[in-house]
Amino acid sequence: MTGGLAHRGVQAARDLRIGARRGPGNAAVRWSLHVVGALFAAVPIAFAAGPVEFSAGEIARIASLGPWPPPPRRDPSNRVSGHPDAIELGRRLFFDSRLSPVGYIACVTCHQPDRGWTDHKPRAHGLGDLDRNTQPLNNVGLQRWFGWGGASDSVWMASLRPILDPREMDSNAAHVRHVYVRMPEYACLYRLAYGADPVTGGETDEAVLVRTAKALASFTETLTTGRTAFDAARDAIARGGSIAATGYPAAAQRGLQFFVGEGRCIACHSGPDFSDGRFHDTGVPEFPGQRTPDAGRQDGIRNLRSSRFTLHGPYNDDPSGRDAAAARDIEPEEAARGRFRTPSLRNVAVTGPYLHNGGLDSLRDAVRHPAPDDGAVPRGAAAPAALGTEPQGTAADDVVAFLQTLTDARGEDRGLPAPRPTPCDDDAAAVR
Ligand code: HEC
Ligand code: HEC
């Protein structure tokens, strides 16, 4: 990150704070947290220059951040999850702007493989402006709720949303069905995946749309990150070995100790994916010029209660209905206002700008999100006790050094995944 970018980040943070004070409806939006600052002020934070000694408790917490990669998971609500032909159909559709009636917006417009599956913009732009930052799709299958506010309860529901959203692809079920008329190899892959023809098979347009989203989801679920320098260090320490022997940088060791210790980052950025999958209010203010405050999980819950595409609707393929039953377990709507899902921190160094509204450019600023220096208690019931200490000065540099070790070898540039040849390619050749 260049000094210029870091500077812009600081400036953006200042602008945001000014915006938060001036903006209407922002009474509840405040940076935190003198309260916690006072709690931790008594604890001296000393960073010795020598090798870092980890306590037994710290070692146990570090071990809980792995192992990586986790075992592959299938989504029972999506019968083509893990199906090779569905994955191939999803892969081709993901890069194909024919899905949008205007013909120039595809999933890849915003989720770009050479930008960590995001777009490096503060906020997404499709056919119109969105108020949220594009989420990197890495390891998405490990989550339970999708979108910053958890408006979807499956990866396929989250894949359906951008197709229909007028600000993203502004498509519709009839248009999606017509894509199969134009693209016989897609229709062929669909037949291999579902055993029915998308054009002549007698399904409703909506059913074809949902199955298209499920194919997209089966592809998206394959976007996992590889092992990192941190994973090697974590495995060594979990086995009782020496972290230093793995060549893990000293600054990253100090940052890791802060992360699992005083910083209490691990209270929310927990588990092998560095996300508890839950929603928290960390007091992130609206950005200047934002017209309506982002209600976060509150809007998410409203959407889950009204949409026919949730696990409670007619399109859940899981006969046991287990996940649907679990998805009923949603928190009261009022308490959810202004809460956002804890983002994973894998590959975070290459997926800025940061936060749900892209309000911070630099990772150095983003690591200080939970307890910025502006006073006030966060809104809602986000217990101040759950929030940790803001890393200051060299501690912030150390935390950044630690987060940089969470980037995998192809983090920044994954290139375009190669098409997998299928029997359907002959169909396409026959037509052309
Ligand atoms: C205009 C930019 C844009 C386009 C086009 C777009 N997305 Fe997204 N995507 C986003 C944004 C922004 C979010 C966060 C949405 C939210 O929080 O409401 C997101 C979130 C997601 C998520 C949830 C990720 C998570 O971690 O919960 C999935 C899955 C996803 N997109 C898949 C897709 C697929 C599949 C397509 C193509 C059909 C697509 N997206 C097209 C911008 C875009
Ligand atoms: C109370 C739970 C909680 C704690 C504690 C916490 N975080 Fe977060 N973190 C979040 C949430 C929620 C977001 C997203 C906030 C938003 O966008 O509104 C986030 C966002 C981030 C981001 C930006 C990621 C991105 O992709 O935009 C970074 C980096 C980060 N946290 C690092 C840390 C560090 C370092 C600590 C400890 C000093 C920490 N967090 C402590 C919940 C937490």
What is the full DSSP assignment across 322-336? HHHHHHT----TGGG
Classified as helix, coil or strand, 40 is helix
Contact 126, 169 (CB under 8 A): yes
In a shared domain, residues 53 and 119: no
Residue 409 lies in a domain: no
CA distance 239 to 117: 33
Residue 311 lies in a domain: no
Residue 346 lies in a domain: yes
Ligand 2 in reach of 340 Cβ (< 6 A): yes
In this structure, the residue with its CA closest to atom 39 of ligand 1 is 107
What is the pLDDT averaged over residues 226-251?
Answer: 95
- 199 lies in which domain range? 84-225+414-431
In a shared domain, residues 287 and 397: yes
Residue 331 lies in a domain: no
Classified as helix, coil or strand, 27 is coil
In a shared domain, residues 240 and 360: yes
Q: Provide the residue type at 394 as one letter.
A: T
Classified as helix, coil or strand, 381 is coil
CATH number (domain holding residue 421): 1.10.760.10
Angle at 255 between CA 371 and CA 34, to 5 degrees: 15
In this structure, the residue with its CA closest to atom 31 of ligand 2 is 367
Place of tokens 């320490």: 237
Provide the pLDDT for residue 11: 36
Ligand 1, CB within 6 Å, residue ranges: 105, 107, 109-111, 124, 126, 130, 132, 134-135, 137, 140, 143, 146-149, 151, 155, 158-159, 162-163, 168-169, 216, 220
pLDDT of 289 strictly over 90: no
CA distance 47 to 393: 11
- Name the DSSP letter for residue 177: H
pTM: 0.88
Atom number in ligand 2 closest to CA 135: 26
Locate the DSSP E strands across 90-196. none
In a shared domain, residues 31 and 143: no
Provide the pLDDT for residue 38: 37
Residue 303 lies in a domain: no
Residue 391 lies in a domain: yes
**CB-based contacts of 388: which residues, under 8 Å, 6+ apart?**
36, 40, 262, 263, 264, 265, 267, 370, 371
CA distance 149 to 331: 13
Q: Which ligand gives the minimal distance to the CA of 214? A: 1
Instruction: Choose one of 369, 398, 404 to mutate for the ligand 2 pocket test, by most ligand atoms within 8 angstroms of C-beta.
Output: 369
On the 0-12 / 13-18 / 19+ scale of CB atoms within 10 A, 26 is middle
In this structure, the residue with its CA closest to atom 10 of ligand 2 is 342
Of the pLDDT bands very low, low, confident and very high (cuts 50, 70, 90), residue 49 is low
Provide the pLDDT for residue 331: 83
Provide the pLDDT for residue 7: 35
The count of structural domains within the chain is 2
Length of the chain: 432
Provide the pLDDT for residue 185: 95
Q: What's the Cα-to-Cα distance from 191 to each of 76, 185, 188, 317, rounded to whole Å?
A: 20, 10, 5, 17
Instruction: Choose one of 1, 121, 269 to mutate for the ligand 2 pocket test, by most ligand atoms within 8 angstroms of C-beta.
Output: 269
Q: For residue 147, is it left (φ>0), alpha (ψ between -120 and 50) or beta?
A: left
In a shared domain, residues 268 and 202: no
Classified as helix, coil or strand, 172 is coil
